Structure 1
Amino acid sequence: MQAAFDNALAESTIGLFKTEAVASGSLFLTGPLRTIDDVEYTTMEWVDWYNNRRLHSRLGHVPPEEYEAAYYAQQRPTRPAITQP
């Protein structure tokens, strides 16, 4: 038996998709969803926005792509120590 929270992330993401991508008045819709291509295009647009441009409160209201770039810019390259035999 699985716990209810096992699917919580998936259910939350599905809910966001329904609310933000395919609901009436969505910014991602250019017209009615009549064909599979319409659904696929809308989904691709939403996923791109969700992964790259949405403002995320946990990241200080910075888009994930920008946050990741800043994170890696702060990292110092690590090199293995060279030892003499």
Structure 2
Amino acid sequence: MSRKGNCWDNAPMESFWGKMKCEWLYGNHFKTREEARAAVFEYVEIFYNRQRIHASNGYVTPEKYYNNSNKKSKAA
């Protein structure tokens, strides 16, 4: 994502990975890659998108924010 001398491009992804590791993965030991893959999928698709509120979205989940923005654009 980033080029030499342009460190800002990676900031959103670095923030996401840090949150995922802290909130979901630290302390877990996975026996297989499939278990790890399932845990990451559960974090992203179930928790992060549907349950975790985000300050940048007005303290709603990404799913609610997306649905609200689609309703507004269809009404216009």
Please indicate, yes or no, whether the TM-score normalized by the shorter chain is above 0.5: yes
**Long gaps (5+) in structure 2:** none
For 2:8, the equivalent position in structure 1 comes to: 5
* Bigger Rg over Cα: 1
4+ residue segments displaced more than 6 Å = none
Percent identity of equivalent pairs? 28
**Long gaps (5+) in structure 1:** 79-85
Higher helix share: 2
- Partners of 1:13 and 1:22 in 2: how far apart? 12
Deviation at 1:76, TM superposition (A): 4.1
1:6-25 counterparts in 2 under 5 A? 6-24=9-27
Indicate the RMSD between aligned Cα atoms, in angstroms.
Answer: 2.0
Number of residue pairs matched by the alignment: 72
- Partners of 1:65 and 1:20 in 2: how far apart? 19
Q: State the TM-score, normalizing by the size of structure 1.
A: 0.67
- The question of 1:37 aligning with 2:37 is answered no
